[in-house]
A = this chain, B = another copy of it.
Amino acid sequence: MDTPEYPAIDREALTRRLRTHGVTPTSQRLDIARELFEKPAHFSAEDVYERVNGVEAAVSKATIYNTLGLFVAKGLLRQVFVEPGKVIYDTNLDDHDHFYDEDSGTLIDIGSVGIAAAALPPLPSGTALDRVDVIVRIRRSQP
């Protein structure tokens, strides 16, 4: 018998995870999901492209973007905007905020700073709260 590329249990768990969220598990989507969901982490689209396509490119950039967008739409992933022209995909779906190191570009999970809806001014009429993004920007301090 062949040694599978990676344990069947993983692939099956991933398959279930995608199906649970209404995503048809294609082979490309599983390849991408395998890199993403190994452990909670932050990725750029380029990161994902490089990790999925180790030596030979197997999954196209268009599919990387399509899949990341689909995963976001289906609630498997969230986006964080810290810099113009650079989206970070976050596999940590718990309610949490971030430190952003402006010198190194590193994003670090912190617990939710927890802004109570009551602390906010009334929302414009006809609108509802989607979510609150808190980015704590930090810099190297002078030594």
Contacts and interface: CB of A to CB of B under 8 A. Distances in A.
A110 B135 CA distance: 17
Interface residues of A, number: 38
Contact of A132 (B82, B102, B130, B136): B136
A73 interface: no
Interface in A111-139: 111, 113, 115, 119-121, 123-124, 126-139
B126 A136 contact: no
Contact of A133 (B84, B87, B119, B135): B135
CB-CB nearest 7 A-B residue pairs: A128-B141, A130-B137, A127-B138, A133-B135, A84-B87, A85-B85, A130-B139
Interface of A: 79, 81-87, 99, 101-102, 108, 110-111, 113, 115, 119-121, 123-124, 126-141, 143
